[in-house]
Amino acid sequence: MSRTLILWLPPVAALDGKDDALLHPAWLRADDGVIVDSGQDEGWIDAGERAAGVADADDRLIALAPAIDVPIRWRRYPDAAPAQAAAAARVDTLRDSLGEGALLHIVAGEPATTGQAVPVAVTTHAAMAVWTGWLAERGLSADAIIPAAAAVPPPEAESLWRAELGGEHIVRSADRAYVSDPALDPLIAASHPVLPLAADRMREALLLTVAAPPLDLLSGAWKPKRRWALDPALVRLAKRLAIALVAVSLLIPVVHMLRVASDTRRADAAVIAMAKSAGINAPDAITAEAEIDRRLAAAGGGPLAFSVPASALYAAMRDAPGVSIRSLSHRTDGTLTTMLAAPRVEDINQVLLALQARGYRITAQPMAGSDGQQLANITIRAVP
């Protein structure tokens, strides 16, 4: 259900006087477009709490600014687009207004189609400050502030309406709406009759105006800043997702570590089994591997054999076709000694980097050859 509290703002002059009677402004409460309660007493306070969001997020508070402080004028620009007509109406109204422009708060509504009249409201920034402050003192924040005069419907041709709204008598002509003055009304109306507007029709027009405001004084410098509200359900969901993310982040390395440990245990078991098949009884894989290397070295094979570092050297030279071998020798400790030659030092470095990438320890002594070639005495440790 959509609930709306319609609250009349007191006149600025009365607020400046701190009149106690203003504690009981006129108000209406409408549910789904039907007036269900009204008065000029403290009954609006409970409804105001609901409209402020205490009870239901669908509740709204619409404040009506008195016609004595906010007269309305309708201007026509038949050939202008709606946005252009609204801008032109603000400029023309400012030009025709009395007083300093910086002190005035001029608001123009935007017509629905080209050629429609543009409603323009004129008040002051001081009045807006008084009204918003009066609402804030009561813990309220209006969703919109609509001039009460804008709610009076246009009169019949060649006539004017006089309507009572929120304790004010408002006169509505074809292009203006203002607070009634018995001395000035006949002069303004001239020969046109000023007819009373039925209360039922005025209430219907008021509800239509509240449902689709022609203009809102909470615009321009007085447009409320957007307030972000966090949904508690979304906050709880975000917390749960954050906890789950942290748990997964911790679980991934733990699982990886367990898998590595399991694979390591299987590999160690395989090494021990292979060693046992070769007649080596070792308590762990490291001892078994050391014993196998010792036996291979004694037999002249294993990682200390000539073929191991030599094959690594030839594989590294495959990607450096300009490098050649001048000499090659092998020691019993598995060290391979060679002299490499190439047109450029960079070519020899390419071979050395490839050997280092395979895990071999390299020492190099560069020199220049008599034939212009670049030479380097290289030692390659047979065991990575």
pLDDT one-digit tens code per residue, 110-140: 888 888 899 999 999 999 999 999 888 888 8
- In which band, very low, low, confident or very high, does the pLDDT at 51 lie, cut at 50, 70 and 90? very low
Instruction: Please state at what angle helix 232-277 crosses helix 285-298, rounded to 10 degrees.
Output: 40
Domains 3-222 and 300-380 share a fold: no
| Domain extents in the chain | 3-222, 232-297, 300-380
Q: What percent of the chain has pLDDT over 70?
A: 88
Task: Report the alpha-carbon distance of residue 61 to residue 213 in Å, rounded.
Answer: 13
Per-residue pLDDT for 18 more than 60?
Answer: no
b/e map of 172-206 (b: 16 or more CB within 10 Å)? bbeeebbbbeeeeeeeeeeebebeebeeeebbebb
pLDDT digits (tens, 9 = 90+) for 235-292: 889 999 999 999 999 899 999 888 888 888 888 888 788 878 877 887 888 887 777 7
* Closest by Cα among 382, 246, 256 to 311: 382
**How many other CB atoms are found less than 10 A from the CB of residue 84?**
14
Work out the percent of the chain whose per-residue pLDDT is above 90: 28
More confident residue, 18 or 258: 258
3-state secondary structure of 90: helix
**The two structure tokens encoding residue 285:** 């894989």
Measured CA to CA, the distance from residue 151 to residue 172 in angstroms comes to 10
Domain at 3-222: CATH code? 3.30.420.380
pLDDT tier for residue 57 given thresholds of 50, 70 and 90: very low
Angle (nearest 5°) at CA 197 between 205 and 156: 85
Residue 343, CA distances (Å) to 160, 221, 323, 329, 347 in order: 107, 78, 8, 23, 8
* pLDDT score for 300: 55
- What pLDDT is stored for residue 126 in this prediction? 92
pTM of the model: 0.57
Return the H-helix or E-strand segment holding 186: helix 185-189
Please determine, for residue 384, whether its predicted confidence score (pLDDT) is greater than 50.
no
Q: How many CA atoms lie within 13 A of 138 on its CB side?
A: 25
Considering the chain, what is the average pLDDT of its residues?
A: 84
* Residue tagged 């008195």 (tokens): 66
300-380 is a CATH 3.30.1360.100 domain:
yes
Q: Measured between alpha carbons, how far is 77 from 308 in angstroms, rounded to an integer?
A: 96
The whole-number pLDDT of residue 121 equals: 94
